[in-house]
Amino acid sequence: MFDKEYSFRGIHAERVIKLTAKFDRDNQLFARNLDVYMVAPIIGFLYGRKADLDKGTETTKIFPDILIREQPNLKFNYRLIMLLDKENEPNFDERMNKAFRYYGSEKAQCDEQLYEQYVRGGVDVLYEKLIETASNSDDYLKNLYDFLEEFDERYNQAISTDSILDLCRLARS
């Protein structure tokens, strides 16, 4: 896993293309498909969203050299999700096996499919929260602010609202 070309397909490819597109002359939410691929499984897991593979014709890719270069970070995400996913595996020892011992083996095929479902679910959440209702630059920034604020309220109170506002102001200038 994470050593060969990766393709988003169908509706998820369309959504990744929109998530990485510039929404005005100088700004975009994600610079590369890889950036979406790194964030999406965590968002999918945290929001409890999984999605099946769409067989549509649209594709967008991440090339193997990029994946190999980012393999330690991608493995970290995979292992983190396998360790935390009590819903699909209540036994802690088995979650440890899935995260470390089974990785890359035939036993991990179901786990890799689960991980990919979280990737696609995360793409759906990111698209819905950031892109779906936006029609101009201000809407994209407002959606980003709202999403970060919602995420902060759900998971982390360490970042202040003022810090998020400062980041949004920097993005506009």
Q: Indicate the pLDDT class of residue 161, thresholds 50, 70 and 90.
A: low
Summary mean pLDDT of the chain? 90
pTM for this model (two decimals): 0.86
Q: Report the pLDDT value the prediction gives residue 25, as an integer from 0 to 100.
A: 81
Question: CA–CA separation, 12 vs 89, rounded Å?
Answer: 27
Calculate mean pLDDT across residues 27-34: 92
Calculate mean pLDDT across residues 2-14: 96
pLDDT tens per residue across span 127-155: 999 999 998 888 998 999 999 989 888 87
Q: Report the pLDDT value the prediction gives residue 173, as an integer from 0 to 100.
A: 53
Question: CA–CA separation, 151 vs 26, rounded Å?
Answer: 25
Q: Report the pLDDT value the prediction gives residue 58, as an integer from 0 to 100.
A: 96
Residue 1 pLDDT greater than 70, yes or no: yes
pLDDT tens per residue across span 66-86: 999 999 999 999 999 999 999
Q: Indicate the pLDDT class of residue 7, thresholds 50, 70 and 90.
A: very high
Evaluate the CA torsion angle 85, 117, 129, 172 in order and state its sign.
positive
What is the token pair recorded at 156?
Answer: 């982390």
Calculate mean pLDDT across residues 3-15: 96
For the packed helices 137-155 and 161-172, what is the interaxial angle rounded to 10 degrees? Answer: 160
Find, among 146, 123, 150, 122, the residue nearest to 134 by Cα: 146
